[in-house]
Structure 1
Amino acid sequence: MTGRHVVSVETLMLRASSDSKWAYRHATAVPGPGETPDQAARRVSGIPADALSTVVHSTSWRCRPEGEIVLTYAVCPDPEPWLPAIDLPVLEIVAGEAPATPAPGRVEVANVVAHAIRHLAFLTTEDPVVRQALAHHPEIVTALDQPRRCVTIP
């Protein structure tokens, strides 16, 4: 790379089963000319801007060694739940080793998904717009309310 950062948008389409198990689909895109990252996330996941019962939320970002900035969006629930997805039996959050070094040494997509799920759980208690949208999906609300949600790995 030439020292210039490239931005990519990662979308995580999240679904929960009736027994509160999580699964996800993953897609990445580069915003087109004049397209915002929010618009790119909606384009990749097929969600219109006026959707009332699907949350599209920027949940994290990370910088890859080659200079790529990855903006991650959680899309919940998955708009195409019939498509194959990756099961996530345990939600593992990774963390940095010290308070002033927040970036973990290695981050896998499954770790980003776990972070996104924890973030959505927080938003259902703190953000009335997210709470109202997800109220249409009882299986999601139940899964977000599980006490065993995440395990943190240093």
Structure 2
Amino acid sequence: MMMRILAVLIALALAPLATPAFAVLPDEVLEDPALEARARELSKELRCLVCRNESIDESNAGLARDLRLLLRERLLAGDSDEEAIDFIVDRYGEYVLLRPTMSGANLALWLSAPLMLLLALGIGAGYLRRRSAAAVAAAEAEALSPEESARLKDILGQ
């Protein structure tokens, strides 16, 4: 009996994780199901400017609601998906995109991480090469000359 209660409690606790959380209010939903589906898909690609890394489809912020309504207005006006997204990007900047484009100033951001990795690998390889060369030089410097080896054998009695 206790196991069943525990299983039910776990299922209830995990139920919100299994279903997506949408903040779209009933008065925002379009009458045309095809347009509403397009609006939902596009909303997943747009960032809420108030929340961190949350789409406008998931956010309860007022600005996210305004963006959802603006997106739906553009779709009702006959804009294609690209035109609607471009309209919002023109108005709010490229930060509104959850997946920024790889052009312009963003290209430097996209390329900086791989370049920094290559730079770090180069510095690390140079450090290891110098360290191993120094170890070889130190070993050679510490090596005994033939006279020193003979003297050591005399001292050790060999």
Normalising by structure 2, report the TM-score: 0.26
- Bigger-Rg structure (1/2): 2
Of Structure 1 and Structure 2, the greater helix share is in 2
Relative contact order higher in (CA < 8 Å, ≥ 6 apart): 1
Of Structure 1 and Structure 2, the greater strand share is in 1
